[in-house]
Chain A
Amino acid sequence: AQKVTQAQTEISVVEKEDVTLDCVYETRDTTYYLFWYKQPPSGELVFLIRRNSFDEQNEISGRYSWNFQKSTSSFNFTITASQVVDSAVYFCALSATLSGNTGKLIFGQGTTLQVKP
């Protein structure tokens, strides 16, 4: 069975602080994909990153960075110098078997990030 756990339900920081959102996953598949999405109050899901199970390189995109560690089954997301516009719900998600008929995308519980001015 596949499972994604985001233990942090809510995080509140002051603008310009760095913040890390944790994500731990479970899967028996050797090939899988991990995702992060941002969901602002409007409800739309904004794609942030996709990482496959064979690529453990960390990634940086502007103020965003991701740390993928297969040894601990974690795929953590860090926002550097947070801004008020970063306030949203962030979801980590897992999909296995992204070939053939495609795999289901399973979401974690989400972490609500509030960045205060």
Chain B
Amino acid sequence: GAVVSQHPSWVICKSGTSVKIECRSLDFQATTMFWYRQFPKQSLMLMATSNEGSKATYEQGVEKDKFLINHASLTLSTLTVTSAHPEDSSFYICSAWDSSNYGYTFGSGTRLTVV
């Protein structure tokens, strides 16, 4: 079945630095990818929708200059958390739409801790 590989699984970074999270669709082409953030004991909140070759569409309240999304190819989307702060510590998870089976495939998530 469709697989989305997300790396890293976890990362600890210092406040003020930037962190890049990658999501790759391994056996299908993902025209559209979604990025979610999940705080402890909360639901998944959609941050942005990225379409290959175009600018991402951010949800209301999400700072596009802080959360940079790049979807340069049909198999790779990246989320860069710039100038990370402790309040950015969260679980980030990506999802890709697989048109071949009409389903969303999720990455395994990245646990970001900013110290």
Which residues of A pack against B, CB within 8 Å? Answer: 33, 35, 42-45, 47, 50, 91, 95, 98, 101-102, 104-110, 112
1/0 contact string of B29-63 vs chain A (CB within 8 Å) = 00110100000011111100101000000000000
Contact A43 B91 (CB under 8 A): yes
Q: With a CB–CB cut-off of 8 A, which chain B residues contact A98?
A: 102
B103 is an interface residue with CB less than 8 A from chain A: yes
Q: How large is the interface on B (under 10, 10 to 19, 20 to 34, 35 or more residues)?
A: 20 to 34
The reply to whether A101 and B43 contact each other, CB–CB distance below 8 Å, is no
Could you list which residues of chain B lie within 8 angstroms of chain A, going by C-beta atoms?
A: 31-32, 34, 41-46, 49, 51, 91, 93, 95, 97, 99, 102-104, 106, 108-109, 111
Nearest chain-B residue to A44 (Cβ)? Answer: B108
CB distance A44 to B102 under 8 Å?
Answer: no
Q: Which residues of A contact B43 (CB under 8 A)?
A: 91, 107-110
Among A35, A44, A91, A101, which residue has its beta carbon within 8 angstroms of that of B32? Answer: A101
List residues of chain B with CB within 8 A of the CB of A101: 31-32, 51
